[in-house]
Amino acid sequence: MIAKALSALAGPLLPYAAGAVVALLLVLGGAWQVQTWRLDAAQARVTALTADLAEARDAMRARDTVIGALQRQADAVAAAAARLEPIRRDVNAAPRTSACLASPAVARGLERLRASRPAAAGAQPRAVAPDVSGGAGRS
């Protein structure tokens, strides 16, 4: 009796059950497709961020290289300033006349300046030009 009742109900409900199964499959397929799209979009974002990260790392390496070069240059400038400061003091201690080139302080300063520079290959030391201003220079 129960079997007759079920078969009696199954006959008219069978098309609806088949439609429900098809609808369920369509919903599940659509959900799967949406999930695939989301996964693809997330993977594209990860790829883009990975490329940006690699670019940022390269920029940081380049920045570190530039900072190192600037530090070496600053050290060289500081060393040159420290090397030239006593020479500047000797030159400033010289009398302020046109005859200052003959003073021992300026001669010492010029000699130290020449000694502090690396000599060019085969270069001869140049003589100091004579004063042609007729004494109208600094006083």
- State the pTM of this model: 0.42
pLDDT reported for residue 126: 60
Residue 139's pLDDT band (boundaries 50, 70, 90)?
A: very low
| Residue 96, phi then psi, degrees to nearest 5 | -95, 70
pLDDT digits (tens, 9 = 90+) for 83-126: 999 888 887 887 676 666 777 877 888 888 888 877 655 556 56
pLDDT digits (tens, 9 = 90+) for 17-47: 889 999 999 999 999 999 999 999 999 999 9
pLDDT reported for residue 8: 74
Instruction: Pick the closest to residue 63 from 52, 73, 71 (CA basis).
Output: 71
The count of residues in the chain is 139
Q: Which residues contact 96 (CB under 8 A, 6 or more apart)?
A: 138, 139
Where along the chain do its domains lie?
18-115
Instruction: Compute the chain's Rg from CA coordinates.
Output: 45
Secondary structure letter of residue 139 according to DSSP:
-
Q: Coil, strand, or helix at residue 83?
A: helix
pLDDT digits (tens, 9 = 90+) for 39-95: 999 999 999 999 999 999 999 999 999 999 999 999 999 999 999 998 888 878 876
In 3-state terms, the chain is what percent helix, strand and coil (to 5)? Answer: 80, 0, 20
